Structure 1
Amino acid sequence: MWHNQVVQKINSKESADSDRLLLDRQLCFPLYAASRAVTARYGPLLSELGLTYPQYLVMLVLWEQSPVSVGELGERLRLDSGTLSPLLKRLQAAGLVDRRRDVEDERRVLVALTPAGVSLRERARHVPAAIAAALGLDEDSYVQLQAQLSELLCRLAPANESQGAPIS
């Protein structure tokens, strides 16, 4: 009899509403699952361009500003050099970027788009709209969601920086 009462209490809505340790009550799981699902939606679009998702992120930064130092690129993408270097090596092998020492400071390595990297931008122009459509978002919802996620990242960045840990 006692066992049945415990099971009923566990299964009751009142118990579920007050229990913060339920998977459905967490922020971490829907963020994690949504991130994986959204990233997966990019896969087919990017494969047409010959890019992986992390390579696409590098290209987005370079389409905004080229050349850029490896350090700045890592900061923008919240990636450490151990992760970034192989990405850049593959992009260079594909003929999309070039890496050179900065003539003013030889400790810095600059990454610049090649002509092929510049022209790839036009072929990638459809990706954001295709992702919004795949997610069922109109333009206003897309902009609102992007703003909320950016705000969340900004709130999290100081905590991660003070702990000396990169966000990845």
Structure 2
Amino acid sequence: MMKDSPSPPLEFSIRNLNESVGSLFSHVRSSMANMINQRTTGELGITGTQGSILFMVWSGRCLLAAELAREFGIDASAVTRRIDLLEARGLLTRVRSVEDRRVVRLALTPEGQAIAARMPAIFACVVDKLLSGLTPEETGFLEILLRRVLANSGDLAGLTHDATLYFEKKTH
């Protein structure tokens, strides 16, 4: 026999849930991903995720499938499927390391490089649209707050050295 689930607090409501910071984070992320996906699908003939993978390899941030899995927060088999699709499209190749045969690096084909090089403009256009109407000061403050949220999560990979120093000074 299952125990009854605890009742939500009296102040809980669907309105509060939809307007919570967590829900807003989720909606912003989803809107951003949808906007990127629309642009990449229409302009490049690939999904936003595929474009992001190509960009991560092109930028040198992720050269291994395991690095992509960590970056995107997905399991290795999901990354492998995405890499397989990009490889089948002729946008990416797997290159076995000569130093360690167990290591397989990812490399872009010339077509993959050309697509990856277009991703920063797509990202910037989407972010500009999302931030339209905000003043430069508001945008700067939002960046500071988001960096603090990332620092609180323990995910310091997205923070610059200067930002981590800023938060260390503020907390000491």
2:29 corresponds to which of 7, 29, 35 = 35
Q: Distance in 2 between matches of 1:19 and 1:152?
A: 25
> Secondary structure of the residue that 2:55 maps to in structure 1?
helix
Which deviates the most, 102-111 or 75-84? 75-84
Q: Deviations over 1:16-43 (max 9, x none)?
A: xx93663255222111222212211112
> Secondary structure of the residue that 2:90 maps to in structure 1?
coil
Q: Distance in 2 between matches of 1:143 and 1:96?
A: 36
Higher RCO (Cα < 8 Å, 6 or more apart): 1
Q: Distance in 1 between matches of 2:140 and 2:104?
A: 34
Residue 155 of structure 1: how far off its partner (Å): 2.6
Equivalent pair of 1:41/1:134 in contact (CA under 8 Å): no
Residue 139 of structure 1: how far off its partner (Å): 8.7
Distance change >3 Å, CA 66–CA 32, structure 1 → 2? closer
Residue 75 of structure 1: how far off its partner (Å): 2.5
> Secondary structure of the residue that 1:103 maps to in structure 2?
coil
Q: Distance in 1 between matches of 2:143 and 2:81?
A: 28
Q: Which residue of 2 aligns with 1:165?
A: none
Q: Which residue of 1 aligns with 2:95?
A: 100
- The TM-score, its normalising length taken from structure 2, stands at 0.67
Q: Does 1:156 align with 2:153?
A: yes
Residue 103 of structure 1: how far off its partner (Å): 1.9
Residue 123 of structure 1: how far off its partner (Å): 3.4
The percent of aligned pairs where both chains have the same amino acid is 23
Equivalent pair of 1:66/1:111 in contact (CA under 8 Å): no
> Secondary structure of the residue that 1:126 maps to in structure 2?
helix
RMSD over aligned CA atoms reads 2.8
Equivalent pair of 2:64/2:104 in contact (CA under 8 Å): yes
Gaps spanning 5+ residues in structure 2: where? 1-9, 156-172
Q: Which residue of 2 aligns with 1:81?
A: 76
**Higher Cα Rg, which structure:** 1
Residue 105 of structure 1: how far off its partner (Å): 1.6
1:130 corresponds to which of 120, 125, 129 = 125
Gaps spanning 5+ residues in structure 1: where? 1-17, 159-168
Distance change >3 Å, CA 103–CA 37, structure 1 → 2? same
- The TM-score, its normalising length taken from structure 1, stands at 0.68
For 1:30, the aligned partner's letter is L
For 1:152, the aligned partner's letter is V
Q: Which residue of 2 aligns with 1:8?
A: none
Equivalent pair of 1:20/1:26 in contact (CA under 8 Å): no
Q: Distance in 2 between matches of 1:94 and 1:56?
A: 12
Equivalent pair of 2:131/2:139 in contact (CA under 8 Å): no
